[in-house]
Amino acid sequence: MEKGELVTDDLVVGIIDEEAIMSERFILDGLPRTVVQVEKLDEMLEKQGTKVDKVLNFTIFDSFLEERITGSWVHPSSGRTYQTNMHVPKVSGVDDVSYFDFSILAF
């Protein structure tokens, strides 16, 4: 992660495994994305004696996603985020607390 690279499937599923043991129910968002992740997730759930019992599939218009991505701003030093349609800064392009300019980042 320090190099900006993706973590391994084993690490991701291991983290989920540790958290899932502490909770009777949990929601996965954005995982699994690959066949290997599905297989590893199935192995983990089988080990715990449980299984996936519900799957939700959301259909989202590309125009909405584009609006969310291009409207996401972050103040780099504080990490405060703004969304031009929801959490709008008081002064356009300026962080509400430090009053410094933002840079645009895609989340």
Tell me the per-residue pLDDT of 36-89, one tens digit each, with 9 for 90 and over: 888 998 898 888 888 888 888 888 899 988 888 888 777 777 777 777 777 677
Between 106 and 48, the more confident residue is 48
Residue 101 has pLDDT above 70, yes or no: no
Residue 98 has pLDDT above 60, yes or no: yes
Quick check: is 38 in a domain? yes
∠16-12-78 over CA atoms, to 5°?
A: 95
| Residue 54 in tokens | 């519900």
**Beta pairing class for 81-83 and 72-74:** antiparallel
Residue 61 has a pLDDT of: 92
Burial of 44 (0-12, 13-18, 19+ CB in 10 A): middle
Helices (H) and strands (E) in the chain, counts: 3, 3
Cα 78 to Cα 10, 31, 98, 99: the distances in Å are: 32, 29, 9, 11
Confidence of residue 106 (pLDDT cuts 50, 70, 90): very low
What is the domain count for the chain?
A: 2
Structural domain harbouring 14: 9-48
Quick check: is 56 in a domain? no
Domain check: are 66 and 100 in the same one? yes
pTM: 0.49
